[in-house]
Amino acid sequence: MTKSQGILDALIIGGGHNGLVCAYYLAKKGLNVHIYEKRAIIGGAAVTEEFYPGFRNSVASYTVSLLNPEIIKDMRLKDYDLEIVKRPISNFLPIDDSTFLKLGGGLEKTQKEFMKFSAKDAARLPEYYERIEAVADVLRDLSIKTPPNPRHGIKAALNAALQLWPIAKKGNQVHRDVYDLFTKSARSFLDSWFENKHVKAAFGFDAIVGNFASPDTPGSAYVLLHHVFGEVNGEKGAWGHAIGGMGSITKAMQQACEDEGVKIYTDASVERVIVNNGAATGIQLENGSKIEAKKIISNLNPKLLYKKLIDEKDLDLEFNRKMDGYKCGSGTFRMNVALSELPDFLSLPGKDIAEHHQSGIVIAPTLDYMDKAYIDAKSHGWSSNPIVEMLIPSTMDDTLAPPGQHVASLFCQQFSPQLSGERSWHDFRLEAADTIIETVNNYAPNFKNSILGTMILSPLDLEEKFGLTDGDIMHGQMTLDQMWAARPILNYGDYRGPLKSLYMCGSGTHPGGGVTGLPGRNAAREILKDG
């Protein structure tokens, strides 16, 4: 990493999945591309690590659905041994000692579950799925396109019109549904469809995943939609598991990149972006090395890029002001747990592998429960009854744990990104983790005693380990003022930064968070267009 390597065509800061995707498409077109990653392992938040002797699991990101099938095809990820298996059902909600609800596994199966709570809700389910899918198709179409840039005037207006035309021609019903999903709270939207509180919770959970908000927050219905536009092995809306954990995705991507000539450096922490005459011209590593490139591409949270790696004097006052206001914080607390046996739920007893063990196990029985968790987090930092989604991937993947034992992934919401006063998450992470364990234990009383070891990641841990500002797994809140052409901020939604030769390719750009690969692919297309 010296001057002898010359000026690169492009360098990418951050070796997360979007950075890998971007690098692949650029290298495929003949560009000389290098990636610089702070950690010793490539993959960003989508990695698999051993956290207890003999037990491995996805560390931060934990499930598959949103990864774009065209990217899987283009990068030939299956040729690099990527295997994704579908969950038998989507989610299992234990409600009390004797009641549960299962979601997924086909329309008829879900309707049968809903009949336990409401015949009316079961009857409405087909139309709900049909209407949601129509809007999801709109989102899928928008997600692969570059948002318009208002600075381009009439050209931007025409671009916006062309992108929105598929919505316009779908008819009034889709127009109303799009408007409702983009503006309403999850509760308001679901109230218009269903009557039973547990049925509403089954769908409402998606509205607060990675979203530090109440289901009563306006716009939270959109986050619900964001989590249903994916697919697994050609089945729309399905969720799955990557054999070997999420790290198998980025490992396959890394191999695809290297086969195209991409050079990848680990333990290469970037200290600053070098700026000359209003253009990004290179980077300086913490070890003092300087690397020049024609294109500088960031896979980082935009706030991390612009507030830590670029001197504010190199950016105009208005841009700095807007970036100061860029909202981060997904309210996420992550745990990985090594288990001696499977959880034995009071509502559905049994410690042998069953379909509910292979699903997303969601502890959030009502929207009121979710709302209280958020209110408590705002006032105290976390709730005594937090929202917990547990996956047990070892029920479908025997590479993750010793025979007869298991790993569980606990994705927990609402935990304040920053604690009030002088409190630090470093001092309260164990207390919060104990609360999570007790919450699960209330529904599966053998859970606590079956724990052999844990990995605990508070919002602060997520920031320090992965560079996720305020622990935000989405690289910025998924609110309407930070989406589409305004992600990360208005006038910079087309993957181009405020400095010449500076680009963004991470989840802080359109279409947002999740392991989609789309920000990376879309950014590569714009970089190649600029020549």
Helices (H), 325-458: 367-380, 425-443
Res. 138 pLDDT band, cuts 50 70 90:
confident
| Helices and strands counted in the chain (H then E) | 16, 20
Q: What was the pLDDT predicted at 4?
A: 40
Q: What was the pLDDT predicted at 16?
A: 97
d(CA 498, CA 322): 12
By three-state DSSP, how is residue 81 classified? coil
Minimum mean pLDDT among 157-166, 325-334, 473-482: which range? 157-166
Q: What was the pLDDT predicted at 177?
A: 86
pLDDT digits (tens, 9 = 90+) for 384-400: 999 999 999 999 999 99
Indicate the pTM of the whole model.
Answer: 0.95
Q: Where are the domains of the chain?
A: 3-43+66-77+246-327+480-530, 108-233
d(CA 216, CA 336): 29
Q: What was the pLDDT predicted at 168?
A: 67
DSSP-assigned letters across all residues of 459-495: HHHHHHHH--GGG-TTSS---GGGSGGGSSSTT--SS
Q: Which residue in the block uniquely carries the two structure tokens 């300086």? A: 284
> Is 147 in contact with 154 (CB distance < 8 Å)?
no
pLDDT digits (tens, 9 = 90+) for 282-339: 999 999 999 999 999 999 999 999 999 999 999 999 999 999 999 999 999 999 999 9
Taking phi over 0 as left and psi of -120 to 50 as alpha, with beta for the rest, 143 belongs to alpha
Between strands 502-504 and 290-298, the pairing is parallel
Cα atoms in the 13 Å half-sphere on the side-chain side of 103: 24
Fold of domain 3-43+66-77+246-327+480-530:
FAD/NAD(P)-binding domain (3.50.50)
Question: What percent of the chain is modeled with pLDDT above 90?
Answer: 84
Mean pLDDT of the chain, nearest integer: 94
Cβ count near 96 (within 10 Å): 11
Rounded to an integer, the average pLDDT of 199-211 is 93
Structure token pair of residue 294:
């024609």
d(CA 207, CA 185): 9
Q: What was the pLDDT predicted at 3?
A: 40
Helices (H), 352-500: 367-380, 425-443, 459-466
DSSP-assigned letters across all residues of 207-249: GTTT--S-TTSTTHHHHHHHTTS-EETTEET--EEETT-THHH
